[in-house]
Structure 1
């Protein structure tokens, strides 16, 4: 299974700053500070417009490797614009010398020129379309890969402050906006800007007096573009935010569809989704209305000015101060200029949306990992013996800085020893696993593997020495083979099959439609909880790591299957350092030692019998948690 691995070379990310909305305000449900370079609120003035558009420089960074394609697109764009203006330029002599002058040869010559120019226009347009569209696809593909590669290596605390659904929306919706802009809108904008200014120049050349009148109307066109354009930008941002919320809601509900249906909450979720859809529609409707109004206002003002100017031109033709060919060419240039102005007004909103999307994607690209490899990482011994030590460790989660998850905790676990960790909910059991995997670093104290401070190791090397079986099993939407091979991507099919057999998973896999090649669906929905857990155990078996972390890996199994899998786990644990978050009496009794944790401290350590006699906390846990199991075993 091809999945990106965290990039250990990424710079350190600090501050746990959440993602922000396009205007620099905190994103919904995202506590904490914003990035220092986030844009200021939109109402602070027109100076912010250029600041937002400067965010499009992100696209230039990703287009730079494809300079040849950019140059080809620009050349084709210039050629197509010149060809368009040349078509109009040919009208004046065609009318004055060919039609009005009665020169048959001139008619033939000018129509041939028109055909040649049209062929140049067609070729240049085709080249421009191909170059620009493929450039847009390429830039967006590279941008998506870069964002995903960055996000997949970020620290777990980043996802506490930023919703995964929001991140996925940025990878899809925001990049789609950029794809539209790079592959279409930028080209349209540049072409029409060239056409606009080229047409204005030709209008002056054709008749400077009439053009002076049009020049008075140009500011009347620009004012509504910028005034209404700001309103379009705000509504576009709101629309994108509503779409992101919609995707988050749908993903959350469909990911928990069993719970939704078990509690008969289908109608409630339909109502929530419908309300969210209507909110997204209303935001889009307002945006479309303002954009429609902007387009209408620009067209009315432009064509109103042209109508007035043409009225004057017609009077000049009648008065003999202007030829019919000049008026026809002037009209054609005026139409080109008006059309270009209208197109610029339309794509201006797209460019603003792309600027907002680029800003949001830039935030992801600038987010840095909190856990990184040191400049000169120490190497683990070969082979790793598996001694794990916690030395006076105190740790607080970044999202809960006032509560110590571990408080001056010390444990030394010998190589090959099996240690069960028990304690009430919130005692800090799972935090031990988080620190061993170095998802977090302690604020004080040291965690060591084979005597080496974990902070001195490359996190990738450390994690290769650890196999982890979580209680909430993670199954990817892929085949059985690739899900198990996730533990060691280079493993052969035969090694995967042996791991499945050892995990007592081969029996139900043989019954699947395509055996080990059966796709298990999203989150393994085609399997039962016990089957998913056996696949996770097979994955850990294949990992073959010296340190094993088990978050009660048999909790979802029935009694018969548990005995079979426990035998496989006994084989797996032999010779390996094993930490088990224990919830079952059999697991506790099989451990070499039991560590009782409460409020982040080790309060007792010993065997089951020793702790029953010496630890009130363990005795209470045993009475509450293990009594039923003990009676069932008897």
Structure 2
């Protein structure tokens, strides 16, 4: 059995949900600048569209003047129609470019996030929920599209329209402009005050969506267990509770946004009424002409439009920054290789020595507790939280000769699976040194290290897809003939022959279309196909019946020639032929030797052997 897995930190310890990640606009800029060429064209189009829009009120004023003088309207009307058409075409093309760029921003953010996710240390996955991570890739990144498609870049072009209309209105009548700006200033102050609340509410809404995704992933991945336990209705209630939490946060965002949306409309209506009333009086008094009032009103509509875009941009940007904070939280995490650059590269080939692997006083403690500061530990103690001892290995020392077979045995929780995880560098030892061929494995490139190791996990995970895709995961250059040969060597020929699909046969989500033993044999076949110098087998025959176990042992024996094997033993038959057996108990080595030596000298091993190691 594997060592106890680290538990997720209790919600509320350390950082609380209310002081979660927050992004700044400067962190959003790199995603936008990646598409600066297209955005430049969008801005140019926006400027041209603004010019076409600003020219229209002036032409309308000219039309009114010509009508009053009973002149010819043909040329002015034609020009006005052309400007309206050009403005519409420019708006449509600019909208397409923005939508396309928005999708590009989502793509680049997803690529960055996925690249970081799949390079995170294993310890991060121990403490985070899969569904929440998936939500960040899907839901959170989608919100970044709104930055472009809901007003930010359009607001840049709109600002030109706003300034141009402002100047024209100043020339026409400064008094009317002053009254208009007073109304607009009140609306702007209101929107700015609401912006911070939108960002906080949006971030919390995305966190609730992450909770919902995690709950759905949990229920679906364990659906057979849930059904067997008659817990379907309870799981539905659990998911619905998270769905309602997401709904409630979404309503809060909608409530705040609803305050922003009508502000531009109210500002337009109030401004229009003020201009119409005061402007009518000024026309009657002879202060301005009727043509000037009409042009002023048209410019007012042109000015309020960009103001609405700016308000929409504030809402969308603050929503996006809330989601970007969750994205940046993951991107800011160190990858598992970030600390490797400071290490001195290994000077020799680790395969050239007589000792393949050596553990020297190795200790290991799960990072969850190890990385707590003293202040955090004190805070946890005050809160009544009992610090759990997460030390798994203590002073472990043993060596594995090249080309030998070593078995690890011991009770459940003794640390056997942790030994293999440390060899793979899923974690680094808290104390001591692990050497491969005499070289500290922390000085080896991880890619090179793992290319020399074949690892079959305890649960024998199978990826959704085909038999071929599973086999080629670590050996993409292998031929179909090699794939078929290795499948038959582990007695999976029957799976190949079930359908005409052969290697293209689907295995289902998590290999559900295969039996437990078949999944385990497929995982072993995947490792055998790569033919690495070192094989790590974590209870690889635990799901096999007697006949398939014998066939599997024969296959492993065949491929083990001139290779180093470390096997976590589940059955006595796997142990007795080993060159050496390492007995672990409570994270310590309590005996090393052959089967006969340990039976005579180590009481724990004698007891395990008596019960066929079935622990």
Instruction: Tell whether the structures are fold-level matches, with TM greater than 0.5.
Output: yes
Assess if the C-alpha contact under 8 Å between 2:150 and 2:312 holds in 1.
no
TM-score normalized with structure 1 length: 0.87
C-alpha distance in structure 1 between counterparts of 2:206 and 2:31, whole Å: 23
Deviation, structure 1 residue 40:
6.4
Alignment partner, residue 552 of structure 1: 539
C-alpha distance in structure 2 between counterparts of 1:33 and 1:285, whole Å: 25
Deviation, structure 1 residue 538:
0.8
**For 1:521-573, what per-residue CA distance to the aligned partner results, in whole angstroms no more than 9, with x for missing partners?**
32122212111111101101111001100011111122222222221122122
Mapped pair 1:368 → 2:334: yes
Mapped pair 1:270 → 2:233: no
C-alpha distance in structure 2 between counterparts of 1:119 and 1:586, whole Å: 84
**Could you tell me which of 121, 134, 140 is aligned with 2:87?**
121
Closer, same or farther in 2 for the Cα pair 1:627/1:428, shift >3 Å? closer
Secondary structure in 2 matching 1:408: strand
**Could you tell me which of 563, 586, 589 is aligned with 1:599?**
586
Closer, same or farther in 2 for the Cα pair 1:59/1:611, shift >3 Å? same
Alignment partner, residue 69 of structure 1: 38
Deviation, structure 1 residue 587:
0.8
C-alpha distance in structure 1 between counterparts of 2:105 and 2:214, whole Å: 26
Closer, same or farther in 2 for the Cα pair 1:169/1:28, shift >3 Å? farther
Deviation, structure 1 residue 592:
1.9
Deviation, structure 1 residue 266:
1.0
Assess if the C-alpha contact under 8 Å between 1:133 and 1:183 holds in 2.
yes
C-alpha distance in structure 2 between counterparts of 1:264 and 1:338, whole Å: 59
Alignment partner, residue 90 of structure 1: 59
**Could you tell me which of 365, 368, 371 is aligned with 1:396?**
365
Alignment partner, residue 297 of structure 2: 331
Secondary structure in 1 matching 2:238: helix
Q: Which runs of 5+ in 2 are unaligned?
A: 1-5, 371-388
C-alpha distance in structure 1 between counterparts of 2:362 and 2:579, whole Å: 23
Deviation, structure 1 residue 76:
0.8
**For 1:72-105, what per-residue CA distance to the aligned partner results, in whole angstroms no more than 9, with x for missing partners?**
11111111122112122211111122x22211x2
Deviation, structure 1 residue 65:
4.1
Assess if the C-alpha contact under 8 Å between 2:198 and 2:315 holds in 1.
yes
Q: How does 1:339-418 map to 2 (within 5 A)?
A: 339-371=305-337, 372-374=339-341, 377-378=345-346, 381=349, 387-401=356-370, 402-418=389-405
TM-score normalized with structure 2 length: 0.90
C-alpha distance in structure 2 between counterparts of 1:161 and 1:430, whole Å: 18
Alignment partner, residue 380 of structure 2: none
Alignment partner, residue 487 of structure 2: 500
Q: Which runs of 5+ in 1 are unaligned?
A: 1-15, 19-26, 43-51, 629-634
C-alpha distance in structure 1 between counterparts of 2:535 and 2:144, whole Å: 45
Mapped pair 1:101 → 2:88: no
**Could you tell me which of 299, 309, 314 is aligned with 2:265?**
299
Closer, same or farther in 2 for the Cα pair 1:249/1:627, shift >3 Å? closer
Deviation, structure 1 residue 249:
0.7
Alignment partner, residue 3 of structure 2: none
Q: How does 1:216-231 map to 2 (within 5 A)?
A: 216-231=182-197
Is 346-355 or 230-239 further displaced after alignment?
230-239
- Over the aligned positions, Cα root-mean-square deviation in angstroms equals 2.6
Alignment partner, residue 215 of structure 1: 181
**Could you tell me which of 573, 578, 582 is aligned with 2:569?**
582
Assess if the C-alpha contact under 8 Å between 2:119 and 2:336 holds in 1.
no
Closer, same or farther in 2 for the Cα pair 1:572/1:183, shift >3 Å? farther
Deviation, structure 1 residue 513:
5.4
C-alpha distance in structure 2 between counterparts of 1:204 and 1:323, whole Å: 15
Alignment partner, residue 9 of structure 1: none
C-alpha distance in structure 2 between counterparts of 1:32 and 1:411, whole Å: 39
- Aligned length in residues: 588
Q: How does 1:160-171 map to 2 (within 5 A)?
A: 160-171=126-137
Q: How does 1:535-546 map to 2 (within 5 A)?
A: 535-546=522-533
Q: How does 1:308-327 map to 2 (within 5 A)?
A: 308-327=274-293
Secondary structure in 2 matching 1:490: coil
